[in-house]
Structure 1
């Protein structure tokens, strides 16, 4: 499996790349080849006085490459120009990546309405599963918040087709996962949804995980999906929240305040998003 690891060469990105435990987790789920990608903004030109961004970025990627190769991965580097999330998605699709990884410090509640960061844009547009690796906020020398990326997973489902597809990610995550909390949030139902008891459906999913000797628990909540998923994160302290990027409601997925974007902005730990119509 191949992964794209996007970096802006910031301290937050460096924390993601240089954490040995995070790299070990990627190896456990089957990642063998990592493509390091950094994007030079379109409005920055090589001829600008005192600025050679391509050269500086190539030198930095060379250091990162040695770290990742030392962890046992094959590595390719890409310095490209353009809009970050578009170029990252383009490279991921071109190489047939199974995963895109980006570090993010997240945003304060006041800033959640501002859509513009690479992580937030990728949460809308990713063409592969996207792992947002949470980095410490408000520190000059940040570290990753959860070193064991997939050790404890909180899987949130509305039983949509995309949510079912997100669950299938356990086919490879299970090699690094010890505990899973399965959460469903009851909301006013969209037309055509099943009347099956959500507890029974979560229990059936839990049984599949237990066949892999993964410890499971189930939790059915009522209220706003994003708020309740974040409340479950606070209660169970997972290392990663796993969720599909599209649900049943066509209206909800058109709103800027979608569940997946809220989680990327506000979750304390890592968030893994599975887009629709893709398989690994």
Structure 2
């Protein structure tokens, strides 16, 4: 597997890239090659007096390269220019990445729906599964909040094809997972149709699959606002990562907030592993 790790060479990015436990978790799920990429903003150019951003970023990536190579990965570095989320998506397709990783300082103390703009835009547009890795917010030398990326997974499902695709990620996440909580929220907006099968039974079927892989699993069925209830379960079970699926969105809808997956990405304390629709071939 190939992972694309985005960095702006900040302390928050360094926390993700240089954490040995995080790197070990990526290795356990099958990542063998890491593409380190940093994006130089389009409005910064080589002609600016006294500034050589691209060379400085290459040197920064070289420092990270040695750490990751020592952890047993093959590493390629990329310095690109443009709008960060667009260039990261484009590079993910070019190198055929299996997932992308981006660090996020998490919740703002003033506005709990705000995360970094790059992480937010990637969550809306990502072409490959995206791991939003939470990093301490109010710290000069921050560390990741949940080192064991996939040890305890909270999987949220509405039994849609998007959720089923996210559940399929357990085929590789299971190699680093020990515990899982499966949750379904019956929204007041639901029409009451569950395909003739009780939600608890449907969760139990998925739980049986995980138990057969040696993952200790519990299930929860709740009623209420999906995002609020998922976040309530997260607060109760403190997972390493919340696993959710996302839908393909139009350009106009990408500008809007409000989907359950976006609420979870913006407000969860845990890491979030977001699985998008398959990319076009």
TM-score bracket relative to the smaller structure: over 0.9
Q: 4+ runs of 1 displaced by more than 4 Å?
A: 112-116, 190-193, 252-255
Query: Does the alignment pair 1:222 with 2:254?
Result: no
Equivalent residues in 2 for 1:189-208 (5 A)? 189=190, 194-208=195-209
Alpha-carbon spacing, 1:254–1:118, altered in 2? closer, same or farther (3 Å): closer
CA contact (8 A) 2:107 2:115 kept: no
In structure 1, stretches of 5+ residues that fail to align are none
* Contact preservation (8 Å) 1:186, 1:223: yes
TM-score by length of 2: 0.93
- The 5 A counterparts of 1:50-61 are 50-61=50-61
5 Å-filtered alignment, 1:166-245, equals 166-187=166-187, 188-189=189-190, 194-245=195-246
Does residue 277 of the first structure (1) align with residue 270 of the second (2)? no
Q: What is the RMSD computed on CA atoms of the aligned residues?
A: 2.0
How far off its partner does 1:116 sit? 6.7
Matches of 1:113 and 1:190, distance apart in 2: 29
Is 1:48 matched up with 2:69? no
Partner Cα distance (1:205, 1:105) in 2: 32
Count of aligned pairs between the two proteins: 275
Contact 1:246-1:253 within 8 A present in 2 as well: no
1:65, distance to aligned residue in structure 2 (A): 0.4
Partner of 2:18: 18
Deviates more, 1:70-79 or 1:113-122: 113-122
- TM-score (norm: length of structure 1): 0.93
Partner residue of 1:164?
Answer: 164
State the 1:262 CA deviation. 1.6
Report the secondary structure of 1:103's partner residue: strand
The 3-state SS of whatever aligns with 2:68 is helix
CA distance in 1, matches of 2:262, 2:148: 23
What is the CA–CA distance in structure 1 between the aligned matches of 2:268 and 2:157, rounded to whole Å? Answer: 16
> How much does 1:255 deviate?
4.3
- SS of the aligned residue for 1:111 comes to coil
